[in-house]
Each structure stands twice: as structure tokens, then as C-alpha cells.
Amino acid sequence: MRPVNPQRGSLEAHFGNLVATSLRVQVGVNDPTLEEYLTTLVVGFLRADAPPVRIGMPLLPQVVKLATDADAIDPSTGQRERAISLHQAVGDAVLFVGGMFPNQLSGKRLRKPKIRRVPIVDEVELARCSYRRAGELAQADDYARAGLFRRLSQGFETFMFSLQIVGDEVRLRKPA
């Protein structure tokens, strides 16, 4: 298990330990960069005043809108970072919601979305494609970030399952 950094707040330490345990022990992934990313993702959503999606509202239309906005950006116009950020937001939102609140995933598919790169959409496939696209866009100047996005795309279901373990652990520990 990853040692807790005493500089981090108790929420970060708590979720850092839960994420590390779920990834390393229960899922078999030993990647400190992913542990840190998933911990920051969970804590960021918990602390966010304005998360990219509204929990409790249908997720698919929200992430399709974000992906459509990202897809409409021409990266050659100097807005590549904005496109990366929107694609990352899609992946992050589905990863967080699908991990911590799996019953919020619709299990539905859209037949004719207005997204150029994804012909048929469900939340998980859209998130995988969005992380992959963020990695492609980031490749030009940030190989480490591009690699992280590729790993998130390729192992999406594994990482979502890891967050489901974290969510289950949190719900089990919740006082009645």
C-alpha cells in the first residue's frame, strides 16, 4: 500500500489509502501515477463547487454535451488545451460516477449522437474514447500526460471497478 503523505489532508489520505488498496490488492495494478490520479479525481469531485456533471441527473446527455463541445474545437486554432480539458472531463465524470455510483450509469446507447469520432455511444465507451482523444491531443507536448490518458482509456473498466470497490468500502463504513 502507498504510504500516506502527511502533507495531504485527511480526506486525501483516506481516499488515497482506499484507492491504493483497491488498485494494488484487489485489482492487481501497481501504478502510483494512477493511484494519485484516481485519488485526486475522487477528492476533486467530492470538494467541487461546480463539478462538470450533476450527480443524480442522467449522465449520458451531460457527457455527450461535453464530448460534442470538445469535438467541435479545432485543435489547430490554439484551443487544443481546452479540447483536452473537455475530453478529460468526460472521462473523469464517467469514471467517478460509474465507480462511486454505478447505478447512475444508464446502460443505454444513443443511436445517432452528434459526435464525429464515436458512432454509437454509451457512457463507458464515450469515456474511453474521450481519454484516448485527450491523449492524442496531449501527445504533441506532454508525453507523460498523454501516456496517462492512454492508460485510463485502455484500462477504463478496471479503474472504474477499482472505484466501485472504494465506493463500496465508503458505504460500508458509513455510520447509520
Q: Which helix (H) or strand (E) holds 149?
A: helix 143-154
pLDDT at 77: 84
Q: Name the residue among 60, 174, 42 with its Cα closest to residue 126.
A: 60
Residue 4 and residue 81: Cα distance in Å, rounded?
A: 32
* pTM across the whole model: 0.84
**Whether the Cβ atoms of residue 105 and residue 163 lie closer than 8 Å to each other:** no
Angle of helix 32-47 relative to helix 10-21, nearest 10 degrees?
Answer: 130
Sign of CA dihedral 135, 126, 27, 20: positive
Enumerate the domain spans of the chain.
10-173
Of residues 151, 32, 48, the one with CA closest to residue 97? 48
Neighbours of 32 (CB within 10 A): 11
DSSP label of 27: I
pLDDT computed for residue 176 by the predictor: 52
The confidence score (pLDDT) of residue 153 equals: 97
> What is the pLDDT tens value at each position of the chain, 176 positions in all?
344 444 556 889 999 999 999 999 999 999 999 999 999 999 988 887 767 777 777 777 888 888 889 989 988 888 999 999 999 999 999 999 999 988 888 765 544 445 555 455 688 999 999 999 999 999 888 899 999 999 999 999 999 999 999 999 988 876 55
What is the spatial distance between Cα 106 and Cα 64, in angstroms, rounded to a whole number? Answer: 13
